[in-house]
Structures are given as structure tokens and as C-alpha cells.
């Protein structure tokens, strides 16, 4: 039940219908009995610059932003965290005293989920596959956490640009098998393995025992890469945990409660996501 004092937040995307954030935040609102709402906000790219200040003036506490608005949201913000500036994109906006503060909580979410699995990337050799927007967040997070990062991408020029900007080394896509023996953490940020896409064909046999394989894909929950990693006895981390953890800082800023990322939340958010 909402009162006249309800706190408001939401997610802006175009389209936004696929977003799992309303379900995620809705679960937390219900669990904590908060007088608040989190709503999907379909906003066309040309309208973003007018909508953001309007939402702030209408009393919203803030919003998440998803595709295709993440870069534009950062440009429209008055202030940004180091992660948002480094990645060049924002996914969480906080409206405060007439100003828009931008954060990129994908970095926090990725690291928080690694740590929830007992993985500390500090001082580790990490190999990141892919050089798109998702790779930028993962590389920024790993660099911030003190990992030695190498980036590889089908289109090498994109890996070079990303690596030069974020302080990583570059490896040729064809040389991945040679790099596996010295890789403690392998992260897939490409779309390979996603529902409707071909699988990522890498033989994980050369990875050292005790290595971790993380895939930021969460549809399906278990990509062929993760199944291969688990079958080899490696630590296999899917993308769902990053999605859940990235939501936490926004919720806490907007609604004043730091919610738990636990098995119940995972079950609620994953309810309609195929396992494989």
C-alpha cells in the first residue's frame, strides 16, 4: 500500500519490458515493507535529457538506466563516481538537492559476486573475453581491485582501445589457449553462450586447478562455458549474482535500507530464466 509519502524509483530503458529490475526491487520493497515503488519507464533516446530532470522534479529518488541510455545518462549527470567516469557509462542515478549523481554499480556488482564466491581478484592474473560495454565495467572493476588484467577480443582493435584506456594488456583471440595455464580468473563478457547465440568454444582443460570461470551472461543461468568449468571442478560463477548485487547500492540510496542478496532473491529473479 502506497501513501502520499511513498519513495519512488524506477528503470529507464528503450525498450524496458525485458528488464528484471522491477521484479528485483519489488521483491526487496515487499520484504522490507517499504512505502515505495519501483516502476519500468520506457523512454526514447531523444527524450532522456528532458525526462531525467522532470523525474527529479516530480520527486523521484533516482533511477536505474539501461540500454541504450548508459552513456547519455553519464553525460547528463552533474556528478559521477570514479567507476562511472572510468567505464564511461552509468547505470544508477541518484537525485539529490536538484542534482543528478551517476554511478556504475556493475563494477561493484561484479566484485561483490566474486567475493560472495570467495574469490579475491587482488594480484591475480585475469583474462577478460570481449571488449564491449560489459567488458569495460568488468575490466574497470578488476583493475580497481588490483588484478593484472589481459583483454582479448575477436576484433583486436577494440581490445587495444579498451586496454590502453583502462590499463590492461592485450592478447590475440587466437592465442587464448596459450594464456590459459597462467589465468586464475577467466571472464566471459561476450554475447557468446547467451540464449540464441552460439556457445563460446574454449577448451578449459589448460586452466590451473583452483581457477575461477565467470560468465556475465545470465540467460541461460548455466552457459555451456560454466557447465564445462563446473565439470572440471573449477569455481563457476554465472551472471545472475552480478545482476542482483548491482541493484543493491541504488536501492539503499533511494529507499534507505541495504537489502540482502540471498537465495530467495535469486529464486524470485531467476524464476522465468531458463537454466540452460
Indicate left, alpha or beta for 138 from its phi (over 0: left) and psi (-120 to 50: alpha). Answer: alpha
Instruction: Give the residue nearest to ligand ATR (CB).
Output: 132
In the bound state with ligand ATR, the residue whose beta carbon lies nearer, of 60 and 189, is 189
For residue 123, the minimal CB distance to ligand ATR (Å) is 26
C-alpha cell at 174: 587466437
In the bound state with ligand ATR, the residue whose beta carbon lies nearer, of 155 and 182, is 155
For 267, residues 6+ apart whose C-beta sits below 8 A from its C-beta are none
Q: By the criterion CB under 6 A, which residues form the site for ligand ATR? A: 130-135, 153-155, 158, 189-192
Task: Decide: 27 and 6 in contact? Cβ < 8 Å.
Answer: no
Q: Which of 7, 20, 25, 70 is catalytic?
A: 70
**Residue 70 designated active-site:** yes
In the bound state with ligand ATR, the residue whose beta carbon lies nearer, of 116 and 160, is 160
In the bound state with ligand ATR, the residue whose beta carbon lies nearer, of 36 and 109, is 109
Structural Rg of the chain based on CA atoms: 19
For residue 128, the minimal CB distance to ligand ATR (Å) is 10
The packing angle between helices 105-116 and 133-144, to 10°, is 60
For residue 81, the minimal CB distance to ligand ATR (Å) is 20
Q: How far apart are CA 147 and CA 168, in angstroms?
A: 10
For residue 116, the minimal CB distance to ligand ATR (Å) is 23
Query: Active-site residue numbers?
Result: 70
Amino acid at each position: 500500500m502506497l501513501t502520499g509519502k511513498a519513495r519512488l524509483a524506477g528503470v529507464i530503458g528503450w525498450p524496458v519490458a525485458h528488464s528484471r529490475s522491477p521484479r528485483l526491487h519489488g521483491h526487496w520493497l515487499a520484504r522490507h515493507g517499504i512505502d515505495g515503488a519501483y516502476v519500468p519507464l520506457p523512454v526514447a533516446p531523444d527524450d532522456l535529457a528532458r525526462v531525467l530532470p522532470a523525474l527529479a522534479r516530480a520527486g523521484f529518488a533516482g533511477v536505474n538506466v539501461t540500454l541504450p541510455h548508459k552513456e547519455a545518462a553519464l553525460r547528463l549527470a552533474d556528478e559521477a563516481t570514479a567507476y562511472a567516469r572510468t567505464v564511461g557509462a552509468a547505470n544508477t542515478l541518484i537525485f539529490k538537492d536538484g542534482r543528478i549523481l551517476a554511478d556504475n554499480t556493475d563494477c561493484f556488482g561484479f566484485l561483490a559476486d566474486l567475493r560472495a564466491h570467495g574469490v579475491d581478484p587482488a594480484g591475480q592474473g585475469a583474462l577478460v573475453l570481449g571488449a564491449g560495454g560489459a567488458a569495460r565495467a568488468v575490466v574497470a572493476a578488476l583493475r580497481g581491485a588490483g588484478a593484472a588484467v589481459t583483454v582479448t577480443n575477436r576484433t583486436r582493435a577494440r581490445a587495444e582501445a579498451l586496454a590502453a584506456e583502462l590499463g590492461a594488456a592485450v592478447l590475440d583471440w587466437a592465442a587464448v589457449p596459450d594464456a590459459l595455464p597462467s589465468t586464475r580468473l577467466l571472464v566471459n563478457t561476450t554475447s557468446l553462450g547467451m540464449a540464441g547465440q552460439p556457445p563460446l568454444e574454449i577448451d578449459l582443460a589448460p586452466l590451473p586447478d583452483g581457477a575461477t570461470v565467470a560468465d556475465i551472461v545470465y540467460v541461460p543461468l548455466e552457459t555451456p562455458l560454466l557447465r564445462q568449468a563446473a565439470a572440471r571442478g573449477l569455481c563457476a560463477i554465472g551472471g545472475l549474482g552480478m545482476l542482483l548485487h548491482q541493484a543493491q547500492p541504488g536501492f539503499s540510496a533511494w529507499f534507505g535500507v541495504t537489502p540482502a542478496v540471498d537465495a530467495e532473491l535469486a529464486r524470485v529473479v531467476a524464476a522465468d530464466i531458463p537454466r540452460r
